[in-house]
């Protein structure tokens, strides 16, 4: 049973995409028209704005869902269908998916820090890289979500996703920490073979000319690696949200809102992300939990593991791991 099928809600997707494009245009064309270093206070302000927008959307979506479900003859004809309960469950799924995606984005932030440090990208140009990186991430997430919404209809795919998430979570829990080394990245090695790369920046330009030769600047190389890293992380995050809800509309909106706030969260946490020493264990347990939902827990609970419980468990695992990171002193070598 699909509550919000694309055929009936294509206009909602279109309206949401227009809203996102307007927000991005205002972001780069008005608020960040001039390259500048994003300070902590500005990053905090934007982080609050993005989270507030997601919360407002979630609350508005609850009212929208109630109205639409109460007037949907297709669903009302199903015995036992309760529009209010389904609207509440859908809203909780949106917030749970949003929290999961925000938490998984912390790993992205650590990689972004390494990339910017390696290429010596000044703080005032980092927002430009992340802005275009976010646009690319939005496009790839749309593709992944569209593919997932088709595949998730097959039971064996659900089981496959669940097993993949469980194994990924176990790997996160048990695998030793490995430093990120951009110079060993195969994408970077491939770029150097086919694309002339300037060793120097040229302001905030992605291309420059040197001795009559058009060359890519380190800014473009950093952008490409940011895009690649997001695609890699999406392989985990998109199935994780499909474990929470099979409604593509909810997966789409929660994912997009989390990505929109990624830049502000980067500038807010870049200096302290290394202190979240135990967050990897919280994220690993979250992946194992959502994987278990897909392969076992949903079946045990009659098709739907209580979404309120899911939200509480995921919030506790993530919040608890962050709290432990600050309470437990780091061992001095």
Average pLDDT over residues 143-167: 89
CA distance 299 to 292: 10
Parent domain of 18? 6-164+174-276
pLDDT at residue number 332:
65
User: Residue 194: in which H helix or E strand, if any?
Assistant: helix 186-194
- Check pLDDT > 70 for residue 9: yes
Quote the crossing angle between the two packed helices 307-327 and 83-118, to the nearest 10°: 30
CB 11 within 8 A of CB 251: no
Assess if residue 78 is contained within a domain.
Answer: yes
Total number of domains in the chain: 1
CA distance 82 to 159: 28
More confident residue, 37 or 150: 150
pLDDT at residue number 179:
66
Average pLDDT over residues 236-240: 84
Q: How confident is the model at residue 3 (pLDDT cuts 50, 70, 90)?
A: very high
Choose among 228, 233, 209, 208: nearest CA to 219.
Answer: 208
Choose among 93, 237, 254: nearest CA to 165.
Answer: 237
Three-state secondary structure call for residue 139: helix
Q: How confident is the model at residue 299 (pLDDT cuts 50, 70, 90)?
A: confident
Q: What is the DSSP string of 79-120?
A: TT--HHHHHHHHHHHHHHHHHHHHHHHHHHHHHHHHHHHHTT
Average pLDDT over residues 62-66: 97
What percentage of the chain has pLDDT greater than the value 70?
95
Assess if residue 25 is contained within a domain.
Answer: yes
pLDDT at residue number 195:
82
The region, left, alpha or beta by phi > 0 then psi within -120 to 50, assigned to residue 320 is: alpha
Average pLDDT over residues 272-278: 81
- Check pLDDT > 70 for residue 180: no
Q: What ranges in the chain are assigned the alpha helix state H?
A: 6-26, 40-70, 73-76, 83-118, 123-151, 155-174, 186-194, 218-242, 248-260, 262-269, 279-292, 298-300, 307-327
Average pLDDT over residues 184-188: 74
pLDDT digits 0-9 by tens, 74-121: 999 999 899 999 999 999 999 999 999 888 887 778 888 888 888 888
pLDDT at residue number 178:
67
Assess if residue 317 is contained within a domain.
Answer: no
What percentage of the chain has pLDDT greater than the value 90?
34
Average pLDDT over residues 220-245: 86
- Check pLDDT > 70 for residue 58: yes
- Check pLDDT > 60 for residue 45: yes
Q: How confident is the model at residue 248 (pLDDT cuts 50, 70, 90)?
A: very high
C-alpha of 116 from chain center: 20
Q: Which tokens belong to 312? A: 């509480």
pLDDT at residue number 254:
95
Q: Which of 14-18, 84-88, 149-153, 312-316 has the lowest mean pLDDT?
A: 149-153
Assess if residue 304 is contained within a domain.
Answer: no
Assess if residue 221 is contained within a domain.
Answer: yes
CB 46 within 8 A of CB 283: no
Assess if residue 309 is contained within a domain.
Answer: no
pLDDT at residue number 63:
97
To the nearest whole number, what is the mean pLDDT of the chain? Answer: 87
CB 145 within 8 A of CB 248: yes
Q: What is the DSSP string of 278-312?
A: THHHHHHHHHHHHHHIIIIIHHHTTT---HHHHHH
Assess if residue 260 is contained within a domain.
Answer: yes
Assess if residue 296 is contained within a domain.
Answer: no
């Amino acid at each position: 049973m699909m509550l919000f099928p694309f055929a009936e809600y294509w206009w909602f997707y279109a309206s949401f995409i227009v809203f996102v494009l307007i927000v991005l245009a205002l972001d780069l064309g008005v608020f960040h028209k001039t390259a500048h270093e994003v300070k902590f206070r500005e990053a905090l302000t934007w982080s609050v704005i993005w989270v507030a927008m997601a919360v407002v959307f979630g609350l508005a979506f609850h009212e929208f869902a109630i109205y639409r479900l109460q007037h949907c003859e297709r669903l009302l004809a199903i015995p036992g269908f309760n529009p209010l309960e389904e609207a509440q469950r859908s809203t909780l799924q949106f917030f749970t998916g949003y929290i999961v995606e925000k938490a998984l984005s912390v790993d992205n932030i650590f990689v972004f820090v390494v990339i910017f440090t390696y290429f010596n990208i000044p703080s005032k140009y980092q927002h430009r890289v992340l802005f275009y990186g976010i646009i690319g991430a939005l496009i790839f997430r749309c593709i992944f979500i569209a593919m997932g919404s088709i595949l998730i209809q097959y039971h064996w795919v659900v089981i496959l996703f669940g097993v993949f998430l469980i194994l990924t979570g176990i790997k996160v829990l048990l695998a030793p920490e490995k430093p990120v080394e951009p110079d060993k990245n195969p994408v970077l090695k491939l770029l150097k073979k086919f694309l002339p790369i300037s060793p120097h920046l040229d302001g905030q330009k992605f291309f420059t000319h040197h001795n009559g030769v058009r060359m890519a600047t380190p800014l473009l190389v950093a952008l490409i690696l940011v895009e690649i890293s997001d695609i890699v992380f999406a392989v985990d995050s998109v199935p994780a949200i499909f474990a929470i809800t099979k409604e593509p509309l909810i997966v789409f909106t929660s994912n997009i809102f989390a990505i929109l706030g990624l830049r502000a969260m980067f500038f807010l946490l870049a200096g302290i992300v290394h202190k979240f020493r135990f967050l990897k264990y919280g994220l690993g347990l979250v992946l194992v939990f959502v994987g278990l939902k897909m392969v076992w827990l949903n079946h045990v609970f009659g098709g739907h593991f209580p979404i309120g419980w899911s939200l509480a468990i995921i919030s506790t695992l993530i919040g608890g791991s962050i709290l432990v990171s600050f309470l437990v002193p780091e061992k001095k070598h």
